Structure 1
Amino acid sequence: MQRRMIAPCFMDDTLECLRRHNVEVEPLLASVGLPPVISEPISAEQYGALWHAVAQAMDDEFFGEGARPMRAGSFALLCQALLTTETLEHALRRGLRFLRAVLDDPHGELTVGDGLAEIRLSDSGPLRSAFAYRTFWIIVHGVNCWLVGRRLPIRWVDFKCSIPPTGSDYRLFFGAPVRFDQPESRLVFDAEFLKLPVIRDACALREFLRKAPANILVRYRHDEGLSAAIRGRLHATAPASWPSFERLAAGMRMQAPTLRRRLQSEGQSYRSIKDEMRRALAMEALLNGSRSVADLAADIGFSEPSAFHRAFHKWTGKSPALFRREASSEVDACDNASAN
């Protein structure tokens, strides 16, 4: 089985956070068998061991990034509190109340409308780091996915703070458009998932906690599972030549109903995967290239530029031209942050 790894840029965020809170990093790294300088990916298990070491050293499972410390053992209590909920919506609302009681700030509120579920973060204190908001999303979304036993695709993620030097990794991690310098921090997904039943019990919780947080860092990333294998196949082919679902299933030596059922268990469909990939290709081209929107639309498999405009606005809430301008501003901000 392929070992699941944590990128160095994620570690950079973590270590920068610890130094900001005057934590001696080198002894903690040594205590879990990690070198003082990390330039290569480490295993999720190694990062999990570091997370536990930090939580014990700081008595804070939120790395000092909340208004109050999330005392060691709070994560386990959160999960236990959610086992008696019936649906994802029930669990999410209870979990957000729990985290508000523990952290005070930042705290989240669920709003539902127009087919979307949005977790909006509020904070009465100063603006926090991207690492703080990302950690909040990892805890909330990772536990949610575990409770219902499937990955929940994210539509987009907004950060109120400015883009960090590792901003490109944020897009990779969430597998969705990520925007910085927004009016509020929020994570958005399809509201239909709120009806999913909670399927875990106390026995499953013991196993989950034994492997946490390594399991939520990698298991529910967008680049894990069967959908990742499909993305790999599509990446090797021009979008205009992507196979039909039946041809894809045959190429993967599966019956079409079996493939459809397994994708559904991951919270995906072939259409959603293609949409996610077209969205990512479009964002990459708008961020790094100068091709016209008409040419770009043809490149990613749209027969008409107008169809691409409609799809892109549905994906991001913006026109391609506006996204390109904002993306260019993000790159400039990232370059300035790196230089400083």
Structure 2
Amino acid sequence: MQGAIQRGALSEALLMSPRARILPFQLSSVIKSIAKDMNDEFLGLSENALPMGSFLLLARNAIHSQNLYEIYKSTARALKVMTTQLSLELIQGDRFSRVRFHIKAKDGNASVILCELALLIWHRFPSWLIGERVHLEQVRLPFKAPTHANEYPLLFGGKIEYNCEFAELVIPNTLLKSPCRRSLQELNGYVSELPKLWFQYMDYGSRSVDISGACLNAMQMLASTSMHKVAKSLNTSIRTLSRKLAAENVTFQKLKAVYLRDKALNLLANDQLSIEQITSVLGYTEPSAFTRAFKQWTGNTPHHYRKMVRK
């Protein structure tokens, strides 16, 4: 484990800080290292391991599907052959279908992590296969809201329900006919970027991308957190944008904080800019204002965070 943490460019001091943030490439590196060291894509969190290369087999099986319905159905069949620790079933209703997950983990904490990963992967990978973000009407979780629950709307979109009987993704039936648009060659390129792609915001240029993700992508493209500019780039009004964000249980101010926080983390991980320069890049008038904001986001000052990263 220590080796995986070091390869992820993380320090023990950083990990011991309850509210500290890490970057997608760091999380990706740690997960990849743990899986490789243990030869287990379940990361040692289940009773029985899932050998390395298992997701690749599932992905190569799924890419031959005609549509989203077949992607989930074929994956459910393949999982039955590969493991007893994770299963998936597609349950169709009148208007919505539920992608239900059954997960066997070592303990409660492991169950939460595996549940998060399973739902994240089997939402984002099928979204990539069909070339648009699969809209989630609801995400149902079989545990109480964790301390990081405010991250879930940004990860999934849609309404989050806790203490449910099963872990489920609830999707509109109309999406089940969405065709698989990817080739085997594209899949090879996709897999080479894993698991980093699972921890980044999705945007496949689709009209169905969740509005929160669209806002974050617009901020990155514009290098601006102006609500007026973001709304204009999305061809909508500020009022309509606010209403759509409210439907996803997210505010523009929350997204602005996420954008600035992640940009600050990237800049602080690079020694080329001073704290004063980063303050200016992020649009703060003075370092003290940036320090207050950063401490609210992470529980640490920019100086302390940079010191922990360097260790």
TM over 0.5: yes
Q: Which residue of 2 aligns with 1:102?
A: 82
* AA of the residue aligned to 2:79: L
- What letter corresponds to residue 166 of structure 2 in structure 1? E
Distance 1:136 1:207 in 2: 21
Alignment deviations for residues 293-332 of structure 1 (CA, whole Å, 9 cap, x no partner): xxxxxxxxxxxxxxxxxxxxxxxxxxxxxxxxxxxxxxxx
Cα-to-partner distance string for 1:54-81 (whole Å, 9 max, x where unaligned): 1111111122233431211111111111
User: What residue number does 1:27 align with?
Assistant: 3
1:157–1:177: 8 Å Cα contact kept in structure 2?
yes
Within the candidate set 17, 24, 29, 1:44 is matched to 24
Percent of aligned pairs with the same residue? 19
Residue 130 of structure 1 pairs with residue 119 of structure 2:
no
What is the CA-CA distance between 1:197 and the residue it aligns to?
0.7
Give the alignment of 1:1-340 within 5 angstroms: 25-38=1-14, 40-123=20-103, 129-220=111-202, 223-225=212-214, 229=218, 236=227, 251-252=232-233, 274-280=243-249
State the number of aligned residues: 235
Q: What CA deviation, in whole Å up to 9, does each residue of 1:33-88 have, x standing for no partner?
A: 22223354333222222221011111111222334312111111111111211111
TM-score, length-scaled by structure 2: 0.64
Structure with larger RCO (C-alpha < 8 A, sep 6+): 2
The alignment partner of 2:12 has SS state of coil
Secondary structure in 2 matching 1:280: coil
Q: Specify the code of the residue in structure 1 equivalent to 2:213.
A: E
Contact 1:67-1:104 within 8 A present in 2 as well: no
Conservation of the 8 A alpha-carbon contact between 1:120 and 1:186: yes
CA distance in 2, matches of 1:195, 1:95: 16
Unaligned runs of 5+ in 2: 204-209, 252-311
Q: Tell me the CA shift for residue 148 of structure 1.
A: 0.7
Amino acid at match of 2:121: I
RMSD (CA atoms)? 3.5
TM-score where L is the length of structure 1: 0.59
CA-to-aligned-CA distance 1:242-274 (integer Å, 9 cap, x gap) = xxxxxx6xx33x8x6xx9xxxxxxxxxx98984
Give distance in 2, aligned partners of 1:224 and 1:63: 28
Shift of 1:166: 2.1
2:39–2:51 Cα contact (<8 Å) kept? yes
